[in-house]
Amino acid sequence: MENKKHLFGNAATLPSFSHDDTKDVHQHAKCLKGWRLDFLQMSEGPFEGEVVLFELEGLKIIKDRISQSVLKKGELENASISFSVPLSEPTAPLVCQGKTYPHPGVLALSKGELPEIKVPAGLELLCLSMDSLCLVELLDDPEAGIEQSLEAPCFMPIPDGYRNLARLFEFTCHSRLLHDYTAVRCELRDDFLSQMLVCLERGEVEKITASARKRVVDRARDFIVSNEDDAMTILTLCRAIGVSRRKLQYCFQDCLGVSPVTYIRLYRLNEVHKSLLNGTETTHVQDEAARRGFYHLGRFSVEYRRLFGERPSETLRRARSHRVESG
């Protein structure tokens, strides 16, 4: 902790530099500037996250660390090209659009929606984003077709590349704090981009598309969301989307790593969590739980605490306290 304080202690004096420690998935999503994101916590335990953001002459860099596994989806807020790559070796494979990627790699996105990703617990990600025209101007060969290759989201394996980027990120943080000069920022920006371009030039680019099983899961989840206030059974869900229980089970396990029953519980607990985090003096835990189908309050409290590491009343108390402090 002392090292972190020393590293970022002077960050507030720099333009376009921020550092946030986060305590829940929704706060974390809001700290990722330049993105509109929605997170759903999948693994059990208190959430701890960290977001470091700075800019290098048109290149926005975000370090994103989370302690729990999450599902995340969203989109870039402007016409940018974005590259995301792990800064540490993942403890579990990345799952994107229902497909498992066993090796670390770069997720590239251009001017559109972020494909839904299941991120493993404990992962540190580095995200680089910039205007696509700026990237083309920096290329040695403007006709290289980078934009064309990134028209759809794609994945590029880099078994060892994350180690170089992790070292470069730490070096850049120190350099920004000690030598915040335009020439230094330009040099560091070009170093980051050269790492990404090496990956692109290898030609090992795989377009990301939703699998057939992912499309089944998406139909099921749309039905779950649209019937949030109703009692939900797997039989009702199967009839609504026209698949067998066995197929639904296979699809959820393959794409999300959980059963349909577990997903419904996780989704509804996350919705209660979100409501309590936005709670006011008129918000009551019992009402928010019952609205999502939790009729046994004692059992709900146990499940909620197991997933988020705190009682629902503590979440609501923390939200109210934060609202008072922020005015």
Closest C-alpha to 27, from 18, 37, 17? 37
- For residue range 44-85, list pLDDT tens digits in order: 999 999 999 888 888 888 999 999 999 998 887 776 788 888
What is the structure's pLDDT at 145?
55
Whether residue 6 has pLDDT greater than 70: no
Model pLDDT, residue 310: 94
pTM value is 0.85
257-297 pLDDT, tens digit per residue, is 999 999 999 999 999 999 999 888 888 999 999 988 888 88
Environment class of residue 269 by beta-carbon count within 10 Å: exposed (0-12), middle (13-18) or buried (19+)?
buried
Give domain 2-207's CATH superfamily. Answer: Jelly Rolls (2.60.120.10)
Beta-carbon contacts of residue 275 (< 8 Å; ≥ 6 apart):
283, 288, 291
Output Rg (C-alpha) for the chain, integer angstroms.
21
Look at the block and give the residue holding tokens 């019937």.
227
Across 162-212, the runs of DSSP E, i.e. the strands, are 206-207
Q: Which residues, in sequence order, are bridge partners of residue 223?
A: none
Pairwise pLDDT comparison (33 vs 79), residue with the higher score: 33
DSSP labels for 59-87?
EEEEEEEESS-EEEEEEESSSEEEEEEES
Domain ranges of the chain: 2-207, 212-326
Q: What is the pLDDT of residues 189-244, one digit of tens each?
A: 888 877 777 766 665 778 888 888 999 999 999 999 988 777 778 999 999 999 99
Alpha-carbon span 226 to 127, nearest angstrom: 33
Q: Which architecture does CATH list for 212-326?
A: Orthogonal Bundle (1.10)
> Do the two domains 2-207 and 212-326 of this chain adopt the same fold?
no
